[in-house]
Structure 1
C-alpha cells in the first residue's frame, strides 16, 4: 500500500500514549516511537513519489523531531537533509531551516565537518537563490572554514572565492580583498590552480581600485608580477596598467576604450563590469556617471 494517509494513521496509533497492561504488551515507548517513525518515513516517501514535496518535507521533519527526542542524532540529521531536498524547489525558507538544523547536528553531535561544509555550501546557494546575499556570504565563509578544518584546501578556496565575489558585488571591498589574498596565497606554487591566478590577481586589484587606493594597486601589481612572472603577459595585467595610467591622467574616454578593447577578447562578467564601473565613476572621473 502506498497511500501516505494509511502510513500516517498507523504512526498515530503507535504514538498514542499507552497505559497499564496495554503498555506492557505493546512494547516500550521508544520502540513504539521508532516504529511510528518508520511509518512516517514511508508516508514521506509516498508523498515524494506523488511529487507532493512540501507534504513530504513536513513528514521528514516529524521523523527528525522524533529521532531527536530519542537522541538518535545521526538519523535526525539525515531526515532533515531529506526534508531539505523536498523543500528546496517549493519552499526555500523551509529548506533553509531544515538544512541549518542538520548542519548544527553534523557539527555539534557527529563531528562530521566535511558533511557540514558541503551542506553549508548548499545553504549559501539557497540564500543566494532568494536574494539574501548577506547570509550567503556568511555561509560561504563558514563552509570555507569547515573545509579548512577538514584539510580540504581546494574546496575551502572554492567556498572562499564565492564569498569574496559576493562581498565584492555587495561593495565590501576590504572583505573581498582579504579573501582573495588567502586564495592567492594558497594558489601560488600549486600547479593545479596557477592557471587561475591571473583572475584572482585581477579581481583583487580591481577591488583595491574600487576602494579608491591606486597607490596600493600599483604596489600589488608589482608584487603579483613578482609572485608569478607569467602574469605580465596577460591581458589582465595590461588592462590594469592602462587603468592606472588613465587614473593618473583623469582620462575617462581612454579608460572606456581600453575596457571595451579588453571585453572584445575576454568577456567581462557581472562582477568585473560592476567593479570597473565603480572605478570609472569614483576614481577616474567622479563627475561622470555614464555606463562603460
Structure 2
C-alpha cells in the first residue's frame, strides 16, 4: 500500500473514532457502554497514528495521539497517556527535530508515570530531558535531574552501580558552568555516595579539575584519552568535555 492508501485508511479510522466519541457523549451513549466506546475510539486514534507515521505524515500522527491522550487523561488512564507522550516526543526528536517540543512531551510523560508510581519509566523520560537540557546549555535543569536520579539509584541495590554515571554527568554539567561549582559538587557526591570516590568517573573529573587549574590543555586531553581507552566516550560526554576544554583555552588566552 502506498502512502496515499495509508493516509486514506488513517483518515477513515479518525472519522470512525470521532463518531464513537460523539455517540459515547450522548445521553443514551453514556448509559450504554460510553467508556468502552471511548476505549475503542482511543484504539482507533492509535491505529490511525501508526498509519500516518508509516505515511510520514508526522503532524497528523501527533494530532491523533493528542486526541487519544485527551481521552485517556479524562478517563484517568495516565500510564497509556504517558506512552503516547513518549511516542510524540520521539517523533519530535527524530523526525521533526524540534527538541524543545520533545522535551515538553518527555516531561509530561514523566509526570504521568510518577503519578502512577512508575518511577523507572519516569526516570527514563527525565534522563532524556537532562541529556537535551545539557546540550542546550540549560545546565541547572540537567544537574537537578541527574542529582535526583543519582540519589534515587544509590539507595537501590539494583541501581546502585548506575549512580556513578549520573553523578559524573552532573559534575560535568557543573564544570561547564564553573570549575569551583564542579569541585564543590564532586565533594558533595563523594560524601553522599562514598563508592563514587573509587570510580574511574570521579577520578577523571579530579584529573580534569587539576589540569584546568594548571591551565594544562595537554594533561586535560591525555586524561580524557586514557579514560576513553577503557570506557568509550559517547557523543554526549564528548560534547561536554570539549566544551570544558574550550573554556580552558579561552581562559588561557585571557592570561596572555
Q: Same fold (TM over 0.5)?
A: yes
Contact 1:281–1:288, Cα closer than 8 Å, also in 2:
no
CA displacement at 1:276 relative to structure 2: 0.7
Report the more deviating stretch, 90-99 or 136-145.
Answer: 90-99
The 1:232/1:287 distance shift into structure 2, 3 A limit, reads closer
CA displacement at 1:51 relative to structure 2: 9.6
User: What is the alpha-carbon distance in structure 1 between the residues aligned to residue 7 and residue 237 of structure 2?
Assistant: 39
CA displacement at 1:288 relative to structure 2: 7.9
User: Which residue of the partner structure matches residue 64 of structure 1?
Assistant: 17
CA displacement at 1:264 relative to structure 2: 1.2
User: Which residue of the partner structure matches residue 113 of structure 1?
Assistant: 78
User: Which residue of the partner structure matches residue 168 of structure 1?
Assistant: 134
**Equivalences for residues 71-90 of structure 1 within 5 A:** 71=25, 72-89=37-54, 90=56
Contact 2:154–2:161, Cα closer than 8 Å, also in 1:
no
User: Which residue of the partner structure matches residue 246 of structure 1?
Assistant: 211
Find out whether 1:286 has 2:250 as its counterpart. yes
User: What is the alpha-carbon distance in structure 2 between the residues aligned to residue 155 and residue 103 of structure 1?
Assistant: 17
Structure number having the greater helix percentage:
2
1:20-60 CA distances to partner (integer Å, 9 max, x unpaired)? xxxxxxxxxxxxxxxxxxxxxxxxxxx79x99322221111
1:184-223 CA distances to partner (integer Å, 9 max, x unpaired)? 2221211121111111011111111112x22221121112
Q: State the TM-score, normalized to the length of structure 1.
A: 0.77
Find out whether 1:208 has 2:208 as its counterpart. no
User: Which residue of the partner structure matches residue 233 of structure 1?
Assistant: 198
Q: State the TM-score, normalized to the length of structure 2.
A: 0.87
CA displacement at 1:135 relative to structure 2: 0.6
Contact 1:140–1:163, Cα closer than 8 Å, also in 2:
yes
